[in-house]
Amino acid sequence: MFDIKQVYEPMCLKSALEIYQNNPHLTIIAGGTDVLINLRHGKYEEVELLSLQKIKGLDEIKILEDGTIEIGALTTFTKIFRNDIINKHVPILAEAAVSMGGPQIRNIATIGGNICNGAVSADSAPALFTLNALLYLETANASRTIPITEFYAGPGRVKLQPGEILTKILITKDNYENFKGKYFKFSNRKAMDIAMIGVAVLLNTTDNKVNDLRIALGVSAPTPIRCQEAEKTSLGLELTEENMKRISELTILDAKPRDSWRGSKAYREHLIKVLTYRALRELRGNK
């Protein structure tokens, strides 16, 4: 059995934040699909858990008055990919959510946990990076909002301050309206596998000319990243075959994939280019 002193199970966010403030050494558990594995593997020598599972109201998806989409941090992946608001306004996030694990995992794993775990391969990350998602972080007596693009610090590390809990993910209207998106998860198996590469592309065009193009990659650097060179160059370009190829080639300037048993650096670089091109072609439609 695990070496455990205590599990706190507060019924509301306020008491969770207070407990965490007074005990910043606690390990937060939401869905538990990562924490329980770490426990099993003896990653923690001695652990006290702060469970968010009994807190109500943090698993809702709604549209605020100004059009911002608000996703509670405890929303499960199943709920996200079946949700009407998500499918209507940010279907790229539904694509990402349904690619994660298998049904049993998606039924309990939460989007907040996926983000805060800081995995390079987090399936929600590339889509949220293209959407310029904002993370709402709370402590017992303060709150702040940070773009997800600035939240990752390294493999498995995120910029959470002591006592801070991620409670909401926000996507403002100007970041989804008039955009079309595509997420490709490339893995050896279709289900129950970790991405070899994740590519998210979000596109806003007028008359086939790029107003705004965002490309985000998972498993391509120590953190999820945006392909800034490719994005900058694409502005104003017409999406011809030639230009789409050129944009796809430029993704490599920001990507730093590694060799691993899951896939080689060279193969990953190839995938990044091919999948970016494929996404662009699909989003452009028949021209």
Closer CB to other proteins, 81 or 277, in the complex: 81
Least distance (Å) between residue 216 CB and other proteins = 25
Closer CB to other proteins, 33 or 248, in the complex: 33
Least distance (Å) between residue 198 CB and other proteins = 18
Least distance (Å) between residue 117 CB and other proteins = 14
Closer CB to other proteins, 79 or 226, in the complex: 79
Closer CB to other proteins, 51 or 234, in the complex: 51
**DSSP-assigned states of every residue in the chain:** ---EEEEE--SSHHHHHHHHHH-TTPEEESS-TTHHHHHHTT--SSEEEEE-TT--SSS-EEE-TTS-EEEETT-BHHHHHH-HHHHHH-HHHHHHHHTSS-HHHHTT-BHHHHHHTT-TT-THHHHHHHTT-EEEEE-SS-EEEEEGGGTEEETTEE-PPTT-EEEEEEE-GGGTTT-EEEEEEE-SSSSS---SEEEEEEEEEETTEEEEEEEEEESSSSS-EE-HHHHHHHTT-B--HHHHHHHHHHGGGT-----BTTB-HHHHHHHHHHHHHHHHHHHH---
Least distance (Å) between residue 234 CB and other proteins = 35
Least distance (Å) between residue 34 CB and other proteins = 9
Phi, psi dihedral angles at 19 (to 5 degrees): -60, -40
Q: Which residues have a Cβ under 8 Å from the Cβ of 37 and sit 6 or more positions away?
A: none
Q: Are 134 and 161 in contact (CB under 8 A)?
A: no
CA distance 15 to 234: 48
Closer CB to other proteins, 51 or 204, in the complex: 51
Which spans of this chain sit near other proteins (rule: CB under 8 A)? 1-2, 4, 6-7, 9, 29, 32-33, 36-37, 39-41, 49, 51, 53-54, 78, 101-105, 107-108, 190-192
Closer CB to other proteins, 15 or 172, in the complex: 15
Closer CB to other proteins, 12 or 37, in the complex: 37
